[in-house]
Amino acid sequence: MFSLCRGCNFKLSLYFQMKEIEECIEEMLIRLDEFCAMTDMIRSDTSNLLEEMIPFIKAKVSEMNNVYTKVDKLEVCCLRYIRLDQKSMLSSRFSSVEVFKKILTIKNYHTVIRN
């Protein structure tokens, strides 16, 4: 009888150990399922990025390159206009009559100073 109780104790001990192992395995399976769900979500996001967002970004880059080209052309046009405007201002400011007058005044001023 003593040996039977001893055997029962051993069986109970084994039962509880098995129960702990089963719970541990169950917990690991739950974690594994969560991990798989997370990797599926990442994979889905990655494929969404590759299939939809990258072509969208490439199209936007192409559009922006066109905008940059137009801005460069506009900048060149503005610089030409500014140079033309400066030349016209200079030419109107220093017409031949004006230049003569200024030269004469400067020469007269220098002769007055020298004397």
pLDDT of residue 19: 92
Q: For 27-46, what is each residue's pLDDT tens digit?
A: 999 999 999 999 999 998 88
Other Cβ atoms less than 10 A from the Cβ of 66: the count is: 10
**Comparison of pLDDT for 2 and 109, the residue scoring more:** 109
Rounded to the nearest angstrom, the gap between the alpha carbon of residue 44 and the centroid of all alpha carbons in its chain is 22
Whether the predicted pLDDT of 64 surpasses 60: yes
What gap in Å lies between CA 17 and CA 9, rounded to an integer? 12
The DSSP secondary structure of the chain, one letter per residue, reads -HHHHHHHHHHHHHHHHHHHHHHHHHHHHHHHHHHHHHHHHHHHHHHHIIIIIHHHHHHHHHHHHHHHHHHHHHHHHHHHHHHHHHHHHHHHHT-HHHHHHHHHHHHHHHHHHH-
What tokens does 101 get?
A: 């007058």
